Amino acid sequence: MKKIVVVGNGMVGYKFCEKLRDADKGEKYEVSVYGEEPWPAYDRVHLSSYFSGMGAKDLMMAPLEWYYQNKIQLHTKELIVKIDRENRKVFSHLGNEESYDFLILATGSGAFVPSIPGVEKRGVFVYRTLEDLDAMKAYGKHVKSAAVLGGGLLGLEAAKAVLDMGLKTHVVEFAPRLMPRQLDESGSALLKSKMEDLGISVHLSKNTQNIEGNGKLTGMSFADGSFLDVDMLVISAGIKPRDELAKDCGLPVAQRGGIVVNENLQTSEPNIYAIGEAASYNNMVYGLVAPGYEMATQVVNQLMGKEGKPFQGFDMSTKLKLIGVEVGSFGDPFGETESCKPIVYENKSSGIYKRINISQDGKRLIGGVLVGDTSAYNMMLQMVQNNMPLPPEPEDLILGSRGGDKPAGLGIANLPDTAQICSCENISKADLCGAIQDGQYDIASLKSCTKAGTGCGGCLPLMGDLLKHQLQAMGQKVKNVLCEHFDYSRQELLDIVKIKGIRTYDQLLDEFGNGDGCETCKPAVASILASTWNELITKQDTIQDTNDRFLANIQKGGTYSVVPRIPGGEITPEKLIVIGQVAKKYDLYTKITGGQRIDMFGARVEDLPDIWEELINAGFESGHAYGKSLRTVKSCVGSVWCRYGVQDAVSFAIEVEERYRGLRSPHKLKGAVSGCIRECAEAQSKDFGIIATEKGWNLYVCGNGGSKPQHAILLANDIDSETCLKYIDRFLMFYIKTAEPLNRTATWLNKMEGGIDYLRDVVVNDCLGIGDELEREMEFMVETYACEWKEVVNNPELRAKFRHFVNVEEKDQSVDFRPMRGQKVPVEWAVKA
């Protein structure tokens, strides 16, 4: 058996091991992997998620057990420092040595740090590894502002991380525009505007001369004489290939860095390969994950004696989401191809910029830039890569067809079989169609079978289109079913439940399903039953997820949070005192939420009914923070206190919240009422938002914040309170009856044929003639509302279910806390290397 040593355990090194073990289960090659970091390979593409709640374990490409199961000897925290080419050995910094038959250099890259005086000062960081991120998080707790040096892809990712840390964020870029390698001037200007709307200060054309401070960063001075007062600096100005190991052993390296390789990814020594960001092919280093994966695949093919294809470069088209802004760049984005012509669409009010570059004869797409809306990116990229003909009116690509028909020649059916659908895994249309023909009839099984969509995920929409098209071409019935246990959609199941009078999951499964159910259909049916009959969800607790089962959100460490309802955000001093007393009695961490409520964290499951009882006795009720239901209706003080208010926002918000409290729906619901157009309650970011006018109220619908923010859209204007409630009744019940599971109202609207115009016809104009029915159904929900906490408190049988161990009264002794700013928080979860 021959031995392969892999130096570097990043994403590309891991992918090499995965591909190798898919082809060889350990019968032909013995594999050892050396990584200098304490963790197994992790996902650097999504590093910024580390600052928004994702842990190190969540970023792992595979657990440690995977290496063991696949007969791979993984050495963490061990750096290879020397290669002996003559004797085919490598040496680590610990003094260990290992021989090899084939050596794979997947050493990746490090952060490029410009030679600016002061980079060694305290408060200056690079953005590259988990250790870098931990250092940033620790330092960031003690500062108020941070700058990111670099306005490219990596720099803007770092800016997202800094923003998530709650720091005043600056981006400093040497070039005159952001993302200069991907975006043209207009696209970059729009991106800059969107970033500034988020509170990020952008400084362009800045040549940093010095990092100021006496041992500790205090600011940055620039060549133009200006100065930026800042507490922390993150350098993310590019990458530098880790080629020092190759250079020391005499392997050629490129002038601009990188280990020189041929089209077979071989160095000057045929049994030593270089892949990923460490490799330089034709003086080009590829800093994206997809080309690294392709390199790994081709090296595995060679080692296994399979027919491969020479590596001859890679398309560097990019689609990603930067700080909530969709950005895409493909082909020739700047129109540098001779005689090509640009077509541009720009809508500054909606934050969308689209540019396509077409050939002189108008027959081929050359490239383009997309900012704000990248929905057409995948198909446009396919048109460039496969030299597909343009539609008769090329502007249809960015404007949509104005005649109602899809432009001829477009669509998944017209892609050639060789079209690359997933660039990360180099999966073609033919590969996916073959898997579908072999019985992979859903996205999950397609991903498992082919690995397509398991990288960056950008190809998933195209995979979905291809799956639907191929199933139809095969004569298969394409139906939107809930899961394998129910051959019905959510909408159909809701009708079945209502018409047949079904009250339990077991009854529905017995009469209209098969098998024992799963984690997909159980909570979905639980939601349907609650939305239809409005009965206490704890009566069928085994089909609920953990949060609904215990009427509280489970938190890090295994304890729960308690959030009583505070309608409209209005609360008396007496109720505030009660919350303080309860929190103190049960030693709970307290925080004011963004929805104008008070959250109490750290409650043990066995204490929940006792806590609820004390709150209920003081006049509180469940805030449903745990459920797919109405959370809050936020308000400003309105005309009662504010000099600018034109309507009583608080009173109306309380009326609205108390009307829809407890309403179960496909996803959570949030509302708001603003007393004037200054919009202090942020109503246009809610599922339904109400803004006061001199004549009454404007009603907005289908907005949301979160990871994919979307502005709500005006449904009706200058309506009175009674009409406003009627329209909300209809809107919410129509959403409950027609939305897919776990679709927010924004997603529901985006999928709706006819969009807001159709929704307005249904809700306002009653074009379907169901307005009265929707209102009656909502009235039933209002009349049958009951506080879930109160039902548990008053029912000994239900109350007895709230315990950590089912057979003993003991408490969970593993729950542990640490002090922070006078309160307690859970201890950090340790990550074992």
3-class secondary structure, 308: coil
Check residue 708 and give its pLDDT: 64
Please determine, for residue 832, whether its predicted confidence score (pLDDT) is greater than 50: no
Does residue 735 contact residue 748 with C-beta atoms inside 8 Å? yes
pLDDT of residue 407: 47
As a whole number, mean pLDDT of residues 164-190 equals: 92
Which pLDDT score, from 0 to 100, does residue 833 have?
37
Q: Minimum mean pLDDT among 57-61, 639-643, 687-691: which range?
A: 57-61
For residues 663 and 532, give the distance between their C-alpha atoms in angstroms, rounded to a whole number: 10
> With 80 as the cut, is the pLDDT of residue 349 above it?
no
Q: What is the pLDDT of residues 398-457, one digit of tens each?
A: 876 544 444 444 567 778 888 888 888 888 899 999 999 998 888 878 888 898 888 777
pLDDT for 68 = 93
DSSP helix/strand/coil, 819 = strand
Q: Which DSSP string corresponds to 505-530? A: HHHHHHHHB-TT--TTHHHHHHHHHH
Supply the Cα-derived Rg of the chain in whole angstroms. Answer: 29
- Report pLDDT for 807: 61
Q: 805: pLDDT confidence band, cut at 50, 70 and 90?
A: low
Cα–Cα distance list, 429 to 408, 457, 792 (Å): 20, 16, 54
Q: Are 824 and 587 in contact (CB under 8 A)?
A: yes
- Tens digit of each residue's pLDDT (9 = 90 or more) over 533-563: 988 887 887 788 778 888 999 888 889 999 9
pLDDT given for residue 831 in this prediction: 41
Q: Which residues are 560's β-sheet partners?
A: 554, 603
Kindly indicate the confidence band of residue 592, based on its pLDDT and cuts at 50, 70 and 90.
very high
> Are 798 and 41 spatial neighbours (Cβ–Cβ below 8 Å)?
no
Average pLDDT across the chain, whole number: 90
Over residues 36-54, the mean pLDDT reads 84
pLDDT, one tens digit per residue, over 726-782 is 999 999 999 999 998 888 999 899 878 788 889 999 999 999 999 999 999 999 999
pLDDT at residue 173 above 50?
Answer: yes
DSSP secondary structure letters along 109-124: EEE-----TTTTSBTE
pLDDT at 314: 84
Residue with the two structure tokens 């010095």 = 210
Strands, E, within 323-471: which ranges? Answer: 325-331, 341-347, 352-358, 365-371, 420-422, 427-428
pLDDT of 51? 80
Q: Does residue 662 register a pLDDT over 60?
A: yes
Structure tokens at 438: 């072999």
pLDDT of residue 333: 92
CA separation for the pair 275, 15 (Å, rounded): 11
Cα gap 472→479, rounded to integer Å: 10
* Per-residue confidence (pLDDT) for residue 806, from 0 to 100: 59
Q: Which residue has the higher pLDDT, 356 or 594?
A: 356
Question: 306: Cβ–Cβ under 8 A, 6 or more apart, which residues?
Answer: 23
Which pLDDT score, from 0 to 100, does residue 405 have? Answer: 45
The pLDDT tens digits of the residues spanning 673-707 come to 999 989 999 999 999 999 999 999 999 999 987 65
pLDDT for 396 equals 84
Judge whether residue 829 has pLDDT over 60.
no
Burial 244-254 (b: 16+ CB within 10 A, else e): ebbeebebebb
CA 672 to chain centre: 25
Closest CA to 523 of 502, 548, 499: 548
Average pLDDT for residues 586-596, to the nearest whole number? 93
Exposed, middle or buried by CB within 10 Å (0-12, 13-18, 19+), for 824?
middle
pLDDT per position as a tens digit, 241-266: 999 999 999 999 999 999 999 999 99
